[in-house]
Structure 1
Amino acid sequence: MRLIETFQTADFIDTLASLAVAFVLGTLIGAERQYRLRTAGLRTNVLVAIGAAAFVDLAMHLAGPDGATRVIAYVVSGIGFLGAGVIMKEGTNVRGLNTAATLWSSAAVGACAGADLAAQAVALTMFVLAGNTLLRPLVNAINRSPLDEKSSEVDYDVKVTADAPAMADVRDLLVEKLEAANYPVGDVEVVDRANGAAEIVARLTRTAVDPKELDVVVADMERQAGVRHATWEASTRD
Structure 2
Amino acid sequence: MLEMIIAEFTPVQSAVAAPVAALRLCVAVVLGAVIGIEREWRRKAAGLRTHILVSVAACLFVILGLEISALDFGTAGEQRNDPLRMIEAVTAGVAFLAAGTIFTAKGEVKNVTTGASLWLAGAVGLGCGTGQELLAAMATVIVVAVLALLRLVERDEG
TM-score for the superposition, normalised by structure 2: 0.82
Answer yes or no: is the 8 Å Cα contact 2:54–2:125 preserved in 1: yes
Q: Aligned pairs, how many?
A: 142
Partner of 2:93: 78
| Runs ≥4 residues deviating over 3 A | 7-10
1:127 to 142, 145, 153: 142
**Runs of at least 5 residues in structure 1 that lack an aligned partner in the other structure:** 145-232, 234-238
Partner of 1:41: 47
Partner of 2:154: 139
Q: 1-side partners of 2:13 and 2:141: how far apart?
A: 35
Decide which structure has the larger Cα Rg and report it. Answer: 1
Q: Percent identity?
A: 33
Q: Report Cα offsets for 1:111-166 as digits up to 9, x if no partner.
A: 0000000110101101121222112122334xx3xxxxxxxxxxxxxxxxxxxxxx
Answer yes or no: is the 8 Å Cα contact 1:68–1:115 preserved in 2: no
Answer yes or no: is the 8 Å Cα contact 2:14–2:67 preserved in 1: no
Q: CA deviation at 1:6?
A: 2.4
1:91 to 87, 103, 106: 106
The reply to whether residue 29 of structure 1 matches residue 35 of structure 2 is yes
Q: 1-side partners of 2:16 and 2:132: how far apart?
A: 17
Q: CA deviation at 1:61?
A: 2.2
- One-letter identity of the residue aligned with 2:113: N
Q: CA deviation at 1:3?
A: 3.1
1:14 to 1, 20, 40: 20
TM-score for the superposition, normalised by structure 1: 0.56
- One-letter identity of the residue aligned with 1:2: E
SS in 2 for 1:26: helix
CA 1:62–1:83: 2 relative to 1, 3 Å:
same
SS in 2 for 1:6: coil
Q: Report Cα offsets for 1:70-97 as digits up to 9, x if no partner.
A: 2011111211111111111102101010
**Runs of at least 5 residues in structure 2 that lack an aligned partner in the other structure:** 1-6, 71-80
Structure showing the higher strand proportion among its residues? 1
CA RMSD, Structure 1 to Structure 2 (Å): 1.9
Answer yes or no: is the 8 Å Cα contact 2:59–2:127 preserved in 1: yes
Q: Report Cα offsets for 1:42-76 as digits up to 9, x if no partner.
A: 10101110000000111122216x54332011111
CA 1:120–1:92: 2 relative to 1, 3 Å:
same
Partner of 1:184: none
Answer yes or no: is the 8 Å Cα contact 1:59–1:67 preserved in 2: no
Q: 2-side partners of 1:47 and 1:71: how far apart?
A: 17
Q: 2-side partners of 1:74 and 1:10: how far apart?
A: 20
Q: 2-side partners of 1:14 and 1:109: how far apart?
A: 16
2:83 to 68, 75, 80: 68
Structure showing the higher helix proportion among its residues? 2
